[in-house]
Structure 1
Amino acid sequence: MIAPLTMWDADASLGGRKVLDGADVQVEYGQLVALVGPNGAGKSCLIKAFVGLLELDGGVARLNGDDVRTLSPRERARRVAYLPQERHIAWNLPAVEVAALGAPFLSGAEALARAHAALAEVGIDHLADRGVAEMSGGERARVLLARALATDAPLLLADEPIAGLDPDAQRLVLERLRARADSGAGVLVSLHDLTLAAAVADRIVVLDQGQVVAHAPPMEALEPDVLRRVFGLDGRWIEGPDGPLLAARRVQ
């Protein structure tokens, strides 16, 4: 069976700088893959290449076996939901209308029903009629997550969805992404927190200077040599009450 999300030998440049360098990534249905790496490693660029927002100089990115470059924007939207890192919403629309944008192939009434269900899933259906400009940053992040969850797409890509959120909101977002994978979707999410990535992911892709240096189950991908070489950490994993915890200090 063809993996639904694949990238092979991908090269890409941005502003004259190489941001992907022979990158290989694969995500299966029912699997949550965490993409980690230092700032500037190329995580956002890799995700944008998968949704056709960054053109590859070489290699290929495929959605359900088809080169993303051969798919129309409409067909991409059917196959993959994309949650970008930026949380800017241009208009002060009610939350339910923003969430309904994630269901463009449904009738108006069906899209609104789907949006209400997605808002309830992230715990803010009581804010459905509130304008997004009148919300806190955390509430707006939940609205945008609801927009991604409102789609029927079998793949979901999320770029730093928990950045700047409080611990409760971080946990809710990761729980929803994990639930989406457990229901059969393929999920690729970029994260900075290595402990959270290890706790939620089936596999971890470590990216450094545009290159994939590890793609394995969490403890294998984040083994001590990778922690030191990529993240500058002298660390080890210990068993905590809720899963593995990273005990680490900066390499001197």
Structure 2
Amino acid sequence: MTAWLTMWDATARLGGRRVLDGADLRVERGELVALVGPNGAGKSSLIRALAGLLPLDTGVARLAGDDVNDLSPRERSARAVYLPQERRIAWNLPAMEVAALGAPFLSGADALAAARKALDEVEVGGLADRGVAEMSGGERARVLLARALAAPSQALLVDEPIAGLDPEAQLMVLERLRARAGAGQAVLASLHDLPLAARFAHRVAVLDHGRVVADAAPLAALTPDILQRVFGLSARWVDGPDGPLLSAVRARPQGS
């Protein structure tokens, strides 16, 4: 089966600094893949490259088998929707209108219907008529996620979708992304919370210095060796009421 999202041997630079260094990744429809790594590992760059927003120096990024560089912006948006980590909104539009922007190629009525459904999906349907500038940061984050969910695409590329949310909202968002994968979409989400990545993702891809150094089911990807080498954590898996749980503490520097 051809993966919906594919990248191999990808290298890229930003401001003269190499942010991707031979990265390989594939995501099938029906999968939620968590992309994890320390700050500066290249997670946002990898997602932007798959979205066609960061040119590669070498290697290939493909959407549904086609090089992203060969696709028009409309074709790219039909195959994958991108949610950036930044949550700035230039105008104080009602949440319904912001969410409807995720479906620009639908008719007005269909776009509004998709927006309403997406707002309800992330539990802010009651804010549909409120201006986004009048919302809390967490509420605004949900509206922007609804904008991505309103898009009729087959893949979601979401960069830190749970950053800044309270614990209940974090669980809700990851449940929704897992459900989207279960409905047949390919979902790639960058996350900093390793226990939540392990809990919700079908696979975890660990990025370090622009390279994918582990890509497997959570227990196989987040091994004690990987956690120490990449994150500086001393960690082990323990039995929890709903399955294995990741127990981690910051490793002491050598000699301390």
* TM-score calculated relative to the size of structure 2: 0.97
Q: SS of 2:148's equivalent?
A: helix
Identity of aligned pairs, percent?
72
Aligned to 2:101: 101
Q: Distance in 1 between matches of 2:145 and 2:172?
A: 10
Shift of residue 40, structure 1, vs aligned partner: 0.3
Q: SS of 1:23's equivalent?
A: strand
Q: Distance in 1 between matches of 2:37 and 2:180?
A: 23
Aligned to 1:179: 179
CA RMSD of aligned residues (A): 0.7
Shift of residue 244, structure 1, vs aligned partner: 2.5
Aligned to 1:15: 15
Q: Distance in 2 between matches of 1:176 and 1:19?
A: 30
Q: SS of 2:90's equivalent?
A: coil
The gaps in structure 2 that reach 5 residues or longer are none
Does the alignment pair 1:66 with 2:66? yes
The gaps in structure 1 that reach 5 residues or longer are none
Shift of residue 242, structure 1, vs aligned partner: 3.2
Q: SS of 2:174's equivalent?
A: helix
Aligned to 2:161: 161
Does the alignment pair 1:6 with 2:21? no
Q: SS of 1:56's equivalent?
A: coil
Deviations 1:12-55 (A, max 9, x none): 01111100000000000100000000000000000000011110
Aligned to 1:42: 42
Shift of residue 103, structure 1, vs aligned partner: 0.9
Shift of residue 221, structure 1, vs aligned partner: 0.4
Aligned to 1:245: 245
**Contact 1:195 1:244 (8 Å CA) reproduced:** no
**Contact 1:13 1:19 (8 Å CA) reproduced:** yes
Aligned to 1:224: 224
Q: Distance in 1 between matches of 2:129 and 2:140?
A: 13
Q: SS of 2:62's equivalent?
A: strand
Q: Distance in 2 between matches of 1:2 and 1:250?
A: 39
Aligned to 1:80: 80
Q: SS of 1:113's equivalent?
A: helix
Does the alignment pair 1:148 with 2:139? no
Q: SS of 1:212's equivalent?
A: strand
Q: In structure 1, what residue type is equivalent to 2:244?
A: P
Q: SS of 1:187's equivalent?
A: strand
Q: SS of 1:10's equivalent?
A: strand
Q: Distance in 2 between matches of 1:242 and 1:212?
A: 28
**Contact 1:122 1:146 (8 Å CA) reproduced:** yes
Q: In structure 2, what residue type is equivalent to 1:239?
A: D
